[in-house]
Amino acid sequence: MGEWSVARRLLLGGAAATLALPRLGRAQGGGAGGPIRIGEINSYSSQPAFLQPYRNAWTLAAEQVNAAGGIKGRPLETLHRDDAGKPEDAVRLAGELVNAERVALLSGGFLSNVGLAIADFANQNKRLFVASEPLTDAIVWGRGNAYTFRLRASTYMQSAMLVEEAAKLPAKRWATVAPNYEYGQSAVRWFKELLTRAKPDVQFVAEQFPALGRIDAGATVQALAAANPEAIFNVTFGADLTNFVRQGATRGLFERRSVVSLLTGEPEYLDPLQDEAPEGWIVTGYPWEQINTPEHAAFREAYRRRFNDYPRLGSVVGYDTVMAIAAMLKKASAVETEPMVAAMKGLQFQSVFGPVEFRAVDHQSTMGAFVGRTVLRNGKGTMAEWRYADGKNYLPSDEVVRTLRPQG
């Protein structure tokens, strides 16, 4: 017995020692005069297209906050971690940030399941978690908890914004196409439910659920065309969207049909399409070059100066997450979990898109999205006839929310 234990134990001991050492020097990190540490976890290596601009803007925002004197004299310090898209790694990293690095709060999350895993960790360990991106409704409703807040407009809100436009169309026969995971499924579910409520005579004649990132675009397009719908609701994004648009255009799927599409107006997904970007789709998105409100113009200019690039929607999310955290820290009576949670409830702050409030009832922010039609300008896709849809107008009433969210 014991051949195996040898190196095992030695290595374990060694590993443990290296793990334990850094803590000695860091013990002061959370002290009264030092920086306020934020632990940020995101899927940097698996979703770089969205998250690089996000991280850039995060850095920018933190620099701005610190240049303006920080929070009551204390600078912000962020520790970024890469979860590689795996919820189990995210949970481990959350443990590392909380226990070893002594961060004051957690933030981040891109994929819905990673967001939910961190939220559950936050609930179990009684830490504040400010979720930035995960769109799933479950994070504030079905599995909402006391310690989790979410910034981005949810799947429900964005679907509701699009239903408002879709109901104005004459189309009765609808087809849907969505990636086959929680986000796609719940977007289709809400869209169907809300549209049927608004227009009881609509029919859904076909639905396609290609695997995320693995769409067989030609086959999907043919299957949709075979049902001969009058309008299509699209939820695919990223590489799937690109392939779907290209195949759909060559096979004439979009001719004489209306298309309503979630997230397609975001530069992350519209720009790769270049001059093949579809025209006349009703989308939610972010027409960064046309929004000239003072807040947005200042943000765009600062971002351009710092990174020599234009902001994506990810940049807005990253920037606003830091600004929301900063506003919360200014309001909170102490940098401890309970006062910070209390400060988050009903927190109002000035986002890049305008004033936003974190609702006390379900911890969802009222950050909105832009709804408009896609057009081609100078060989690039962009949005026209857009308007800002304020999130607070697209959330169910407080009574409904209470039935959706576990109370107590």
Cα(403)–Cα(408) distance, integer angstroms: 12
CB half-sphere exposure, 370, CA atoms < 13 A = 25
From residue 8 to residue 37, the character string flagging contacts with another protein as x (rule: CB under 8 A) and all else as - is xxxxxx-xx--xx--x--------------
Q: How far is the CB of 214 from another protein (least distance, A)?
A: 6
Which residue type sits at 338? E
Min dist CB 276 to another protein, Å, is 7
Residue 291 sits at the vertex; the CA angle it makes with 287 and 294, to the nearest 5 degrees, is: 150
Per-residue string for binding with another protein, 221-240, x by CB under 8 A?
A: -xx-xx-----------xx-
User: DSSP state, 177?
Assistant: E
Element (H, E) at 304: helix 294-307
Residue 331 in contact with another protein, rule: CB under 8 A: no
Q: Measured between alpha carbons, how far is 134 from 123 in angstroms, rounded to an integer?
A: 17
Judged by CB under 8 A, how many residues of this single chain contact another protein? 83
CA distance 122 to 137: 17
Q: Which of 64, 75, 86, 230 binds another protein (CB under 8 A)?
A: 86
Site for another protein in 366-385 (CB under 8 A): none
Interface positions, 106-165, toward another protein (CB under 8 A): 112-113, 116-117, 120-121, 124, 136, 138, 143
Query: For residues 315 and 351, which CB has a smaller minimum distance to another protein in the complex?
Result: 315
User: Which one, 38 or 323, has the nearer CB to another protein?
Assistant: 38
Asked if 6 interacts with another protein (CB under 8 A), we say yes
Strands 105-108 and 129-131: parallel
Smallest distance from the beta carbon of 104 to another protein, in angstroms?
Answer: 16
| Closest separation in Å from C-beta 79 to another protein | 9
What is the per-residue DSSP string for 16-47?
A: HHHHHHHHHHHTTTTSSSSPEEEEEEE-TTT-
Of 59, 64, 66, 180, the one binding another protein (CB under 8 A) is: 180
The total number of residues written for the chain in this structure: 408
Q: Of 32-40, 65-73, 94-102, 393-401, which part binds another protein (CB under 8 A)?
A: 94-102
Q: Smallest distance, Å, CB 136 to another protein?
A: 7
CB 107 within 8 A of CB 325: yes
Please list every residue from 275 through 304 that binds another protein, using CB under 8 A: 276
CA distance 274 to 278: 10
Q: Least separation, in Å, of the C-beta of 23 and another protein?
A: 5
Q: How far is the CB of 62 from another protein (least distance, A)?
A: 17
Is residue 193 within the footprint of another protein (CB under 8 A)? Answer: no
- Decide if 106 contacts 366 (C-beta within 8 A): no
* Nearer to another protein among residue 64 and residue 185 (C-beta): 185
Cβ atoms within 10 Å, residue 243: 18
Q: Report the chain's terminal Cα–Cα distance, integer Å.
A: 53
Q: How many CA atoms lie within 13 A of 346 on its CB side?
A: 4
253 to 272, contacts with another protein by CB under 8 A? 268, 271-272
Adjacent-strand bridge partners of 384: 373
Stretch that binds another protein, among 64-72, 162-170, 210-218, 278-286 (CB under 8 A): 210-218
